[in-house]
Amino acid sequence: MLAARAITRRFGRTLALDGVDFEAHAGEIHALLGENGAGKTTLMNVIAGATRPNSGEVTLDGAALNAGSPQEALKAGIAAVHQSPMLFERMSWEENLALGGFGRRGRYDLRAVAAEAAALASQLGLKLPPPRAILEQRSVSERVRLELLRALSFEPLVLILDEPTSVLAPSELAGFLELLERLRAEGRIVVWITHKLAEARAAADRITVLRQGRVVARAISPETPERELAQLMLGELAPPDAAAIPKGGSGQSVLLLDNLLLIEDGRSIIDGLTLELSGGEITGLAGVDGNGQTELVELLARVRTPSGGSIRLSARTEAAEIAVIPQDRDHDGLVLDMTLWENLLLEPGLRERFTNGSWLDVAKARALGADVIARYKIRAASPDALAAELSGGNRQRLEVARAMSLKPKVIIAHNICRGLDLAATADVHRALVDFAAAGGAVLLISSDLDELLALCGRLFVISRGKIRETEPAERTPERLGLLMAGAWS
């Protein structure tokens, strides 16, 4: 039996785990469920020795583990597969496995490593990347599979998986579940970390729910109704009311993209794109990543200049009234090493509001930070918390809050709910819906069809830099999928 007792772990002012007790028995798949920022990853790291708790201890079959030593934990039989794989990005997968204990120690025989890996992989039903592939160039899901392979090669008694399905393709899921069931049959302990209710209910034998660093339900049955689990996970659940979603719009045009062109290295990335945004509705733009969406966002953010065509604002809209939320919040949207209030000031319109001459009004900017924390339910200790200390969902809430604080007429949002849990997604959606209902125009660029179908009045599809409006009859996931694949362009 794996047991963690009274684990407390603090990060600066954030209490990530607050006296958590957790137990899992041999021969079970135990789901650890909780929304982003609940403390799941931290708990895993404590159990796997990667993070030292401030207090509490972990035992395996009654023997206490040495806190803060991943090697000890591994020797005792605890292996972890991390959410973001801990691999050497610039090396081939064989080299990574060699470093992870494959092949003979002290020998650099990649062929032996590959053979050993192939044997294990076929036994487990996992697919390996092509020979000598450098990890940097492989997908996240392939990297996670490698981590899984490496973890399993140690024949661990306990296998902890941190949100593995968020990177596995749906087609890989069945094989993956089969694998877990085999491990269970062998009497091992599988701890499956997830924020997806359906998954936990479908696969786990028992579920423990974490919320804000505390256990709110211990080892409950997977038969627990979904609604009840959601309640446990989120506290209270408030997705946007379908009736409140504005459709149709005011017809008042605020922004016109007229025959926009972007040509780079002789390739047209944006190819004669014409689109009119009007107040009071959410306009959707569906597409597979890499069809010009990022560049379109950069054009709208005026980081790039178009090679042709124009972006025209209606007479009553000013340039500063367009707020852009880029898709990569950690790289483009936020400066993680700066405080929450400083991140608000990144937006030029807000910075202008908080400067007198060349002086920043720090007190006022902090006050806005405090206000935003309360209004947008951002879990942060204070406006002085670093963005890096926030969980993904809270970083996104911060970005939305920043856009809203600008009091813009138009919001351009790109994949803003990617990787967010239910609560954060609901909050972000509600903020967009409220904004549109109050007369704002939203361009929601996304590859998530559920999101687009739920929120958008008009819906366009982008493929190879060209766009096309969809007919109502086309708005089914299947038809949209075909359109996104470029069946028309």
Partner 1 sequence: MLWPLIKSAAALALAIALISIVLVALGVSPVAVFAALAEGAFGSWYAFTDTVVKATPLVFTGLAIAVAFSAALWNIGADGQLLVGAILSGAIGPFLGGWPRPIAITIVLVAGALGGAIWGGLAGWLRARRDVNEVISTIMLNFVAVQTLSWCVHGPLMEATRAYPASTPIAESAHLGFYFPPSRLNLGIAIGIILAIGCHLLLFRTSFGFELRAMGRNRRAAAFFGLPIASLTVRVMALSGALAGLAGSVQVASITHRLYEKLSPGWGYEAIAVALVARLNPIGIVAAAFLFGALDNGSQAMQRAVGVSPVLVQVIEGMVILILLAFDTPIWSRLGGRLGGAKGPAHAPALSPDA
Ligand X SMILES: Nc1ncnc2c1ncn2[C@@H]1O[C@H](COP(=O)(O)OP(=O)(O)O)[C@@H](O)[C@H]1O
Binding residues for ligand X, rule: CB under 6 A, are 11, 14, 16, 34, 36-42, 389-391
C-alpha to C-alpha distance for 161 and 147, rounded to whole angstroms: 10
x/- mask, partner 1, residues 361-400, rule CB under 8 A, reads -x---------------------x-x-x------------
Least distance to ligand X, CB of residue 194, Å: 10
Least distance to Mg ion, CB of residue 359, Å: 40
Residues touching partner 1, count (CB under 8 A): 31
Using CB under 8 A, pick the residue from 113, 255, 334, 416 that binds partner 1: 334
Using the rule CB under 8 A, is 337 a contact of partner 1? yes
305 contact choice in partner 1, Mg ion, ligand X, none (CB below 5 to 8 Å, kind-dependent): none
**Per-residue buried b or exposed e for 185-209, using 16+ beta carbons within 10 Å of the residue's own CB:** eeebbbbbbbbebebbbebbbbbbb
Please report the sign of the dihedral spanned by the C-alpha atoms of residue 327, residue 314, residue 277, residue 264.
Answer: negative
19-58: contacts with partner 1 (CB under 8 A): none
Least distance to ligand X, CB of residue 31, Å: 13
6-65: contacts with Mg ion (CB under 5 A): 41
Using the rule CB under 8 A, is 346 a contact of partner 1? yes
261 contact choice in ligand X, Mg ion, partner 1, none (CB below 5 to 8 Å, kind-dependent): none
73-102: contacts with partner 1 (CB under 8 A): 90
333 contact choice in partner 1, ligand X, Mg ion, none (CB below 5 to 8 Å, kind-dependent): partner 1
Q: Which amino acid is at 328?
A: D
**Nearer to Mg ion (CB atom), residue 41 or residue 278:** 41
**Nearer to partner 1 (CB atom), residue 3 or residue 346:** 346
Least distance to partner 1, CB of residue 88, Å: 12
Least distance to Mg ion, CB of residue 165, Å: 13
Least distance to ligand X, CB of residue 52, Å: 12
Quick count: other Cβ atoms within 10 Å of Cβ 376? Answer: 20
Least distance to ligand X, CB of residue 347, Å: 22
Using the rule CB under 8 A, is 115 a contact of partner 1? no
Using the rule CB under 8 A, is 134 a contact of partner 1? no
Of 26, 40, 118, nearest to 83 by C-alpha is 40
6 contact choice in ligand X, Mg ion, partner 1, none (CB below 5 to 8 Å, kind-dependent): none
Least distance to partner 1, CB of residue 336, Å: 5
Using the rule CB under 8 A, is 335 a contact of partner 1? yes
> What are the Cα distances from residue 365, in Å, to 322, 339, 348?
20, 11, 13
**Nearer to partner 1 (CB atom), residue 15 or residue 360:** 360
The footprint of partner 1 (CB under 8 A) covers: 90, 298, 301-303, 324, 326, 330-339, 342, 345-348, 351, 355, 358-360, 362, 384, 386, 388
